[in-house]
A and B are shown apart, each in its own frame.
Chain A
Amino acid sequence: MDEIPNLPLRHPLQYQTQKKLNYNDPDKTIYEKANFYVDNKYQIVNMLGKGSYGTVCSAVNLKSKGNPSLAIKKVCNIFNKEVLLKRAIRELKLMAFFKGHKNIINLVDLDIVYIKPYDGLYCFQELVEYDLAKVIHSSVQFSEYHIQCFTYQILCGLKYIHSADVIHRDLKPGNILVTSQGVLKICDFGLARGINEKFMKFTHRPPEITHYVATRWYRAPELILSRKNYGKPVDMWAVGCILGELYGRRPLFVGDNQIHQVSEICKVIGNPPRKVALGYESAAAWDFFCNSRPKFLKKDWSSLFPHANPHARELLSKLVCWDSSARLTVELSLESPFFSKVRSIDEEPVAREPFDFSFEWRVGSIEGLKEYLHDQVELFRDQMRETPRKI
């Protein structure tokens, strides 16, 4: 903010000045341990987690009947890094867009604070007891029904997301929350993005899209080995990895680095067909598959997961496969006979329209983005309080 002293004050900055005056705002409360500055109807209970993106705390709403618990996620550093600011806007817009689906985390309220060190975007969400990583890696008793239901719910949430032409790009057990009653909710849309062409800027070069997404163990091979465009199949790879983890109770491919990750994949599903390896059109892929490195043969899924339903193994082999164009789509995965006992068409709605991400290029400067974020927060808050009008 120091770099732009001569620009006329735009409203987020004005807001900041206002707030500075109200530093001792009687309606706000401070939680020093996590540098949280929130409405005093919330009482922070404890810190749940901290990462590069920010901090999550659990809290109770003292003013709502029954004092409900909720999770508050504070996204930090958004006002000095454009990437993080964009990421915060994306996350906010996607969570608001997908609100109301049973298998997607429910955003309840938003706030934005400009005073350091409390500055950031505050997302108020429902609090869920577990995440899938905790569930898989503890001694929770599974049955085939548990695995069917969990995978089915991930696919239902993902169908809704993909139907809006959005890819999540960071699906992993840690980003899937689980209630004690076994309801799964996909969360963390920080890396998600829209891919509907309608909202892309018309340029001659393909839209830039970073390849450094997804946690390594769940990263699809085309993300590691190719610089070409990728799409929804990267999420389907991750779903396959999660299905394998549900049966094996440990991550399927545990690579210490990118190269190791690829060799771990090869150990299980064998080397890629020549056509796929050449299709990556990258030196990395060429080095890896055409040099004198050991060739791996495909292992039999039934030797890895002898207790798995044959339909589950078939689904797994069609998700965890090299050729992203041959990988099952979310719709085709739902058709798998593995889900015939748990499936209900009513659980598989689609989004009403594709997600509009044109703000990514429409709003240019960091100042413009700040203003946009501020407006989006206000918009969401107003909408939530409003009585809906039907057309």
Chain B
Amino acid sequence: MDLRNEGLREIHDILRPPANKTPLAPPASSSTTSSNTPLKASSEFIPHIFYALNQITRDPNNVSNHLESSTGFIRHRLRTCKELIAENSECMELLSRTPEEWEQELAFKEQELRIKGALLETLRERIKSASVEKDVKPKSEEPKEPKDA
């Protein structure tokens, strides 16, 4: 997904990194179930949690097999996303409304702009008419002078 808003892009890349970046999925050599799943789908966290749970059920006596340690990077990324949202006020304001609410707001702003433009147009017409009246008056008086003379 190609996003132009920098804040949204950062959050999106953390939660769902691009395919060319390091995948969240576990190494394919150590997996039996995830070897069939595509790498793109592994950007989500659930497959990794399932893999970790599977590892624990297969070898429950292994000390290194703890769900907390294996899901640490997920918590870290979630925490980073939270910080990014909290620090970026523009992003926070943008995400605080639903797209439908934003559509209404955008329609309202467009209407406001149209009114402003119409006001400016009216003002331009009035100035133009005033300047035309000013220009017309001397022209109507000028031809009278030679007649009087």
A binds B: no
Residues of B within 8 A of A (CB): none
Residues of A within 8 A of B (CB): none
